[in-house]
Amino acid sequence: MPRFDRHVFVCTNFRAPEAARPSCTANGNSEIHTLMKDGVRAAGLGNRVRVNKSGCLDQCEHGPAVVVYPGEVWYGFVKPEDVPEIVSEHLVHGRPVERLRLPEGCLNTPSCPHRQPPPAKS
Amino acid sequence: MPRFDRHVFVCTNFRAPEAARPSCTANGNSEIHTLMKDGVRAAGLGNRVRVNKSGCLDQCEHGPAVVVYPGEVWYGFVKPEDVPEIVSEHLVHGRPVERLRLPEGCLNTPSCPHRQPPPAKS
Instruction: Catalogue all structural domains in chain A, each as residue range(s) with its CATH number.
Output: 6-106 (3.40.30.10)
Position B110 scores a pLDDT of: 85
B70 close to A (CB below 8 A): yes
pLDDT tens per residue across span A24-56: 998 889 999 999 999 999 999 988 999 999 999
Per the document, the length of chain B is 122
Given a contact cutoff of 8 angstroms between Cβ atoms, the answer to whether A51 and A12 are in contact is no
pLDDT tens per residue across span B23-41: 999 888 999 999 999 999 9
Chain A, nearest residue to B13 by Cα? A53
Position B104 scores a pLDDT of: 86
Residue partners of A56: CB distance under 8 A and separation at least 6: A11, A13, A23, A24, B52
Given a contact cutoff of 8 angstroms between Cβ atoms, the answer to whether A109 and B1 are in contact is yes
CA proximity to B10, closest of B69, B55, B57, B66: B66
ipTM: 0.93
Closest chain B C-alpha to A52 CA, distance in angstroms: 6
Position A4 scores a pLDDT of: 93
* Mean pLDDT, chain A, integer: 92
pTM of the full predicted structure? Answer: 0.94
- Cross-chain residue pair B54–A9, CB shorter than 8 Å: yes
Within 8 A of A69 by CB-CB distance, chain B residues are 7, 69-70, 72
| A contact residues 73-112, partner B, Cβ 8 Å cutoff | 74, 104, 107-109
Position B122 scores a pLDDT of: 65
B118: pLDDT strictly greater than 80? no
Closest chain A C-alpha to B77 CA, distance in angstroms: 18
pLDDT tens per residue across span B75-98: 999 999 999 999 999 999 999 999
B44: pLDDT strictly greater than 90? yes
Taking only Cα atoms into account, the Rg of chain B, rounded to an integer number of angstroms, comes to: 15
- Cross-chain residue pair A108–B3, CB shorter than 8 Å: yes
Percent above pLDDT 70 for chain B: 97
Closest chain B C-alpha to A69 CA, distance in angstroms: 7
A1: pLDDT strictly greater than 70? no
Scored b (16 or more CB within 10 A) or e, A10-46 reads: bbbbbeeeeeeebbbbeeeebebbebbbebbeeeebe
pLDDT tens per residue across span A49-108: 999 999 999 999 998 999 999 999 999 999 999 999 999 999 999 999 999 999 988 998
